[in-house]
Structure 1
Amino acid sequence: MHHTPDKTEIIDYFKALQDRICRELEAVDGSHFREDLWERPGGGGGRTRVLQGEVIEKGGVNFSAVHGQMPARITQALGVPSGNFLATGVSIVQHPVSPMVPIIHMNVRYFEMDSGLWWFGGGIDLTPHYVDTEDASWFHQELKKACDPYSPEYYGRFKAWADDYFYLKHRKETRGVGGIFFDRLNTEKEDRSKAELFAFVQSVGERFAPIYTHLVRKHKDAPYGKPEQEWQRLRRGRYVEFNLVWDKGTKFGLDTDGRTESILMSMPPRADWVYEHRPLPGSAEAHTLSLLRKGIDWVTGTAK
């Protein structure tokens, strides 16, 4: 019989995950995270950790566990009854110095209410400034390995969900090469125990550091110049647009009076918007734009 995890066990796991990921990122960068401890006036708090180093220009690895009375606007948005809530998890965004190293995001989280309602959510996605199809295929294969032990249909289902979620509707572009995204996973919807769903979330969380440190080491010394840096800032601008216009986590954090600096740590240090920018036909930038679309089967490499 599976042990049913309680909120304390889940919170402790997320804290430990933050610690492990920070150690791995510090090892690849050679710099140390700055940590800010904060408290939410309505209940709970978190640990915000930001790295501004040699390889990572600005990276955040945040843990939070907030609780209290659910604001009325959130109960309406989530379609849940009023009451007390707990939301906890780890949220990560890494903006590298080099335009040849991709941006990465991960979030793993748990939500419960005093009524007994609960669910897990999260996801991981990759946003290269320049799409490398070999990297994209490898990345998706790694995510499939994280999903397959828990359900043979998880990867395909959550990959399609990510394509739809990480999509800039106003640009008609995906944010990057996608990944997986899932939300509201509980025993009622998944026909799996809480322990099994927690184990799946752990599988995703533990995949982050090996994936990103591999990509950083592979590309951090690749040559680049001013044109690549200018393109990087344009792609960062798209990242800002998604996070401020479409991202539900940003809105949830702000609507529940979370710590603004921690919520907006996902913003890059520098970004640009150029009016009517169009890359040259046949350029690496144009190739990247051609691959920012839904439905690419990266595992089999059909986009190559």
Structure 2
Amino acid sequence: MIKTTEIISYFESLQDDICTALEKMDGKGRFREDLWEREGGGGGRTRIIHGAGIEKGGVNYSHVHGAVTPKMRDAMNMDGDQWQACGVSIVLHPVSPMVPIIHMNVRYFELDDGADWWFGGGIDLTPHYVDVALAKNFHLKMKGVCDAFDPAGYDKYKKWADDYFYIPHRRETRGVGGIFFDHLNEQSGSDKAAIFQFVQNVGEVFVPTYQEQYEATNHRPYGNLEKVWQMIRRGRYVEFNLVWDRGTKFGLISDGRTESILMSLPPQANWAYQYDESEDKNAVNTQEWLKKGVNWVDA
């Protein structure tokens, strides 16, 4: 049986490995680390980078625990007295509007010393401008990771991402999706060791996946028109994270560290009243792709 201490140790090392790789990829930026403690139990390591290509990036590790409060019980439908959670969460906002935003999260949650437990996580990509070939490559990498765990997994987790990373009040997806999964436990049809291996594979595909996207787009030219569109798209990202994201809500209701929870927000974003993107044909094209159910693998 996989021990909770093994999972905690892995997530700590995953944060270290990803930070080292991102510093190398950026070539200039170095992560600043803030160690923090949660008053109700646990704490974490928040690492933020401002670099040559990454305007603002966060790679968070946390291990928190405490008593299940009435607010948590109502919001999360929990049936237990004590909880603990650990994981790594990443959001990268690039300098260039031609480079996509990316998010990854891998996490473990248990109640009452493992009487109930589950894993969750996923990776999703939010281009300011959709490049169909790169979106396809991204989804092929996600499918490869899923296929090694569950031949039917990609279709399930891709749809889950489409449904989850959706902005209902805009009637558009946050980006081109990816994979998302939650509450994976023995009732999902796999044992704990197999699920943990899948989560590790998701964590370890992050860097090569994003590096491919970054290297393919960071050299592309852009001007003021593209920067304006980038700020508009960042605004949509903020709307999702503050209005709909369950992870943000859980962090806030569980008295987590606010600065770490909100590290996912971009350094700047704009909201324009009835913004008209018609002068930017690539922005118009991007809007056409922001919908559920796109078969990116065969695009």
What TM-score, normalized to structure 1? 0.96
Greater displacement, 114-123 / 70-79: 70-79
| Equivalent residue number for residue 13 of structure 2 | 16
Matched residue type, 2:269: A
Matched residue type, 2:116: L
In the TM superposition, what is the alpha-carbon distance from 1:243 to its structure 2 partner?
Answer: 0.1
Determine the C-alpha separation between the residues in 2 that align with 1:76 and 1:280. Answer: 44
Determine if the alignment matches structure 1 residue 50 to structure 2 residue 36: no
| Equivalent residue number for residue 79 of structure 2 | 81
In the TM superposition, what is the alpha-carbon distance from 1:86 to its structure 2 partner?
Answer: 0.5
Asked whether the 8 Å contact 1:108–1:121 carries over to 2, the reply is yes
Determine the C-alpha separation between the residues in 2 that align with 1:117 and 1:213. Answer: 36
Determine the C-alpha separation between the residues in 2 that align with 1:244 and 1:27. Answer: 31
| Equivalent residue number for residue 22 of structure 2 | 25
| Equivalent residue number for residue 90 of structure 1 | 88
Deviations 1:63-82 (A, max 9, x none): 00000112211112222224
Q: Report the secondary structure of 2:292's partner residue.
A: coil
What percent identity do the matched residue pairs reach? Answer: 58
Asked whether the 8 Å contact 1:24–1:213 carries over to 2, the reply is no
Paired residues for 1:56-67 under 5 Å? 56-67=54-65
Paired residues for 1:59-208 under 5 Å? 59-114=57-112, 116-188=115-187, 190-208=188-206
Matched residue type, 2:159: A
Deviations 1:158-216 (A, max 9, x none): 0000000000000000000000000000001x111100000011111111000111211
Matched residue type, 1:26: E
In the TM superposition, what is the alpha-carbon distance from 1:278 to its structure 2 partner?
Answer: 2.2
Deviations 1:21-41 (A, max 9, x none): 101100011221000000000
Q: 5+ unaligned residues in a row in structure 1: which ranges?
A: none
In the TM superposition, what is the alpha-carbon distance from 1:281 to its structure 2 partner?
Answer: 7.0
Q: 5+ unaligned residues in a row in structure 2: which ranges?
A: none
Deviations 1:16-65 (A, max 9, x none): 10011101100011221000000000000000000011100000000000
Determine the C-alpha separation between the residues in 2 that align with 1:205 and 1:5. Answer: 18
Q: Report the secondary structure of 2:262's partner residue.
A: helix
Asked whether the 8 Å contact 2:225–2:280 carries over to 1, the reply is no
Q: Report the secondary structure of 1:142's partner residue.
A: helix
Matched residue type, 1:252: F
Q: Report the secondary structure of 2:149's partner residue.
A: coil
Greater displacement, 9-18 / 75-84: 75-84
Matched residue type, 1:206: E
| Equivalent residue number for residue 247 of structure 1 | 245
What TM-score, normalized to structure 2? 0.98
Asked whether the 8 Å contact 2:11–2:61 carries over to 1, the reply is yes
Count of residue correspondences = 297
- Structure 1 runs of 4+ with >4 Å offset: none
Asked whether the 8 Å contact 1:72–1:82 carries over to 2, the reply is no
Q: Report the secondary structure of 2:150's partner residue.
A: coil
Asked whether the 8 Å contact 2:106–2:199 carries over to 1, the reply is yes
RMSD of equivalent CA atoms: 1.0
Greater displacement, 93-102 / 207-216: 207-216
Matched residue type, 1:88: C
Asked whether the 8 Å contact 1:92–1:106 carries over to 2, the reply is yes
Matched residue type, 2:139: H
Determine the C-alpha separation between the residues in 2 that align with 1:77 and 1:276. Answer: 34
In the TM superposition, what is the alpha-carbon distance from 1:282 to its structure 2 partner?
Answer: 7.5
Q: Give 1:6's match in structure 2, choosing from 3, 21, 24.
A: 3
Matched residue type, 2:136: S
| Equivalent residue number for residue 282 of structure 2 | 284
Matched residue type, 2:109: F
Determine the C-alpha separation between the residues in 2 that align with 1:17 and 1:209. Answer: 11
